Amino acid sequence: MNASRGGIAVNTRILAHELTGVQRYTREVLRHLPQEVETVAPRQWASGPKGHAWEQLVLPTMLGGRVLWSPSNTGPLAVRRQVVTCHDISQLDDPGSLRRTFASWYQFLLPRLYPRAAAIIAISDFTRQRIIEVLRIDPAKIHVIPHGVGEAFSPRPPDECAAIREQFGLPERFVLTLGSLQPRKNLARLVEAWQRLPACTRDGCALAIAGEAGAGQVFKTLALPELPPDIRLLGRVPDEGLPALMSAATVFAHPSFYEGFGLPPLEAMACETPVIAGNHTSLPEVVGDAGILFDPFDVDAIAAAIASLLDDEERARRLAVAGRTRASAFTWQRTATEVLDVLNTTAVA
C-alpha cells in the first residue's frame, strides 16, 4: 500500500444504497485495493439526513489520523486530508431535475467541500472541466481517473443470449437501453425516435427498456395511452444478467444528454454490441470513434443512428469489434491503481 501517517480509510456510507453507477464504482475499486485499506461505515446503515449527519459529525472521529477517500461525491467538511471522487456536478448543472432537498444539500456542500479537500478525482475530463468552471477549483489538484469494465462484461455464448431473450420475451433483434426516467436520460426522445423508424426497419425488432421504469411512469412521462407492442419494459435487471442481455442486443442506445462518465455504453461495447450514444458531455470520451454519436436533442438524428445499424449489419459488425477493442483499455485494476496513487500521495504530503 505504501501509505504512511496512519494509512487509508474509505468512506463506504454509499454502499447502503441500491446498486447504481456510484455504488458499482465504489465496490469495484475496493475489490482491487490492498487489504490494508480499511472501510468505515455507520454501524446501522443510514440514508438521507441521517446518513449525511453521520458523514459530517461521526466519520471524522473514526479516522485516527488516516487519510480519507470519499468515493461518492460527498465527504465530511472537517477532514482536509481527504480525497473525494466527483462523478458529476449535476446537482449544480441541472438542479431542476432532482429532488429539491437533495439538490439544495449538494449546492451547500460541494462549494465548501471541494476547496477543502486535499485532492479530487474526476471520472472524466468533462467532469474535471465542470468542477474548474463552476467551483473555481485549482486544476492541479484534480486527477482524471476513468471507470473500468468488470470482467463479467464480455460476449456471452449463444445459449446464454437465447436464454435471456426467452426470459424477457424478446425477439431475435432488439435495441436495448438501460437507465432511469430522469430527464437527462432522454427516454422520451428515444421512444419518439423509435416510433419514427420506417416499418421495414422496425419489423421483427423491439425497443427494450431496462431499469426501474414502471409502465405507469412511462405512460405518464411519454404521454402514451398505452405502450406499443414493440416496446418492452424489462424492469430492473439483476447485475449478473446484464452481460447476457447486452450481448444479446442488436444495438445498445444511450441517448443521455448529461453524464459524468457513462458506464453502460462501455459495458455494452465490452460485450461486443454496437453502441449509439449522445454526443454531449462525457460520452464522446467514452465511446470515441468506436460507436455512433448523435445530437441527443434531435429526434431524427437518434432515429437515423438506430436505423444505420439495424439496416447495415456489416457496419454494426465493424463497430462491435471496434467497441470491444476500445473497452479493453478500461479496467477496474487500472482505475484502482491510479486511485491508490492519489491516496498515497495525499497520505505522505
More confident residue, 200 or 179: 200
Residues 216 and 92 in one domain: no
Q: Is residue 216 part of a domain?
A: yes
Residues 185 and 323 in one domain: yes
Q: Please say whether the beta carbons of 44 and 16 come within 8 A.
A: no
Q: What pLDDT, on a 0 to 100 scale, did the predictor assign at position 316?
A: 98
Residues 76 and 144 in one domain: yes
The structural domain count of the chain equals 2
Q: Does 2 have pLDDT greater than 50?
A: no
91-120: average pLDDT: 88
Q: Is residue 2 part of a domain?
A: no
105-131: average pLDDT: 97
CATH number of the domain that residue 197 is part of: 3.40.50.2000
Q: What pLDDT, on a 0 to 100 scale, did the predictor assign at position 49?
A: 80
Count the neighbouring beta carbons within 10 Å of the beta carbon of residue 311.
Answer: 13
Residues 322 and 341 in one domain: no
Q: Is residue 41 part of a domain?
A: yes
Residues 253 and 267 in one domain: yes
Q: Does 1 have pLDDT greater than 50?
A: no
Q: Is residue 3 part of a domain?
A: no
| pLDDT band at residue 189 under the 50/70/90 scheme | very high
291-316: average pLDDT: 97
Residues 234 and 134 in one domain: no
Q: Is residue 225 part of a domain?
A: yes
Residues 142 and 205 in one domain: no
Q: DSSP assignment of 219-239, as one string? A: HHHHT-SS--TTEEEEEPPPG
Q: What pLDDT, on a 0 to 100 scale, did the predictor assign at position 94?
A: 82
Residues 22 and 78 in one domain: yes
Q: What pLDDT, on a 0 to 100 scale, did the predictor assign at position 20?
A: 74
User: DSSP letter at 56?
Assistant: I
CA distance linking residue 251 with residue 63, whole number of Å = 47
- The H or E element that residue 294 is part of is strand 292-294
Residues 192 and 107 in one domain: no
More confident residue, 75 or 50: 75
Specify the pTM.
Answer: 0.92
Residues 173 and 81 in one domain: no
**Burial letters for 272-299: b for 16+ Cβ neighbours within 10 Å, e otherwise?**
bbbbbbbebbbbbbbbeebbbbbebeeb
Percent of the chain having pLDDT more than 90? 76
Digit-coded pLDDT (tens) for 79-90: 999 999 999 999
40: domain range?
8-148+331-348
Q: Which of 182, 300, 200, 178 is nearest to 251 (CA)?
A: 178
Digit-coded pLDDT (tens) for 253-289: 999 999 999 999 999 999 999 999 999 999 999 999 9
Q: Is residue 153 part of a domain?
A: no
Residues 198 and 65 in one domain: no
Q: How high does pLDDT run on average in the chain?
A: 91
Residues 24 and 109 in one domain: yes
Q: Is residue 108 part of a domain?
A: yes
